Amino acid sequence: MEITEKKPLRKMADAFKELSNTLNNNTQPNKELAVAPFSHACSLVSPLFGCLGIAFKFAEMDYVAKVRDLADASENIVTLNAMLDRDIEAKTVRRGGSHTRNLLRVKRGIDMVKMLFEQILATEGNSLRDPASKAYAHVFAPYHGWAIRKAVGAGMYALPTKAQLLKKLNEDECSAKVQMHNYVTSSAPVIAYIDNLFISRELGTDW
């Protein structure tokens, strides 16, 4: 147990694999994903944002707060489906602080990490600036104003190197590649599932 406690990358990859398995093993047309295990898996991603330094400090603070809201919601709401439907009924979907709005923001956080890992796996060298810049530009930048984009761009120069990041995550390059690949593979169906929750209800995801 002590070893896995020191392996945040492995913990998040394993947690998303469980979510992915839940979706794959559910043959019902209206698949259900419970809020509690989803919010727990998402909470395991938080340390990664912390390891990336000042460039992603805004993302870490915002992400942590919204994951906490979903965890609190899990005490009263069992599934993500039910959570969205409750906000739709109350006409609070786009209201600041609504569970649905927070879910969309959290989904972007796990998507950002997926893209970051994809870029790291595809990029040679020790710098994270290019992988992180591409992931940010694709996932977060379209929803951020000029000031935040500029601050993030400046923060990219303070990113740790790949070697420094792996040391913080207590992984060597070989084991990190395996766990990053596992996260990319298992988070993809979870992200697609959440997108479909919004699209099937005609809520859109670009807000």
Instruction: For 133-169, write each residue's pLDDT tens digit.
Output: 999 999 999 998 899 899 889 989 999 999 999 999 9
Residue 15: HSE in the Cβ half-sphere, 13 Å Cα cutoff: 18
Residue 169: HSE in the Cβ half-sphere, 13 Å Cα cutoff: 31
pTM: 0.93
Average pLDDT on 171-190 reads 97
Neighbour count for residue 180 (Cβ, 10 Å): 21
Question: For residue 176, which of 188, 187, 164 has the smallest C-alpha distance?
Answer: 164
Return phi, psi of residue 148, to 5°. Answer: -70, -45
Place of tokens 């995801």: 205
Average pLDDT on 88-104 reads 96
Are 187 and 194 in contact, with CB atoms under 8 Å apart? Answer: no
The yes-or-no verdict on residue 128 having pLDDT over 50 is yes
Tokens found for residue 66: 């919204």
Neighbour count for residue 42 (Cβ, 10 Å): 26
Are 124 and 20 in contact, with CB atoms under 8 Å apart? Answer: no
- Whole-number pLDDT of residue 29: 63
Set out the domains of the chain in order of their start, with CATH numbers: 2-200 (1.10.3520.10)
SS3 124: coil
Return phi, psi of residue 102, to 5°. Answer: -65, -35
- Whole-number pLDDT of residue 27: 67
Q: For residues 149 and 155, what is the distance between their CA atoms, to the nearest angstrom?
A: 10
Instruction: For 8-20, write each residue's pLDDT tens digit.
Output: 999 999 999 999 9
Q: What CA–CA distances, in Å, run from 30 to 19, 26, 70, 85, 86?
A: 15, 9, 21, 13, 17
Per mean pLDDT, which range of 20-29, 41-50, 119-128, 129-138 is the poorest? 20-29
- Whole-number pLDDT of residue 74: 97
The band of 91, judged by pLDDT with boundaries at 50, 70 and 90, is very high
Neighbour count for residue 144 (Cβ, 10 Å): 15
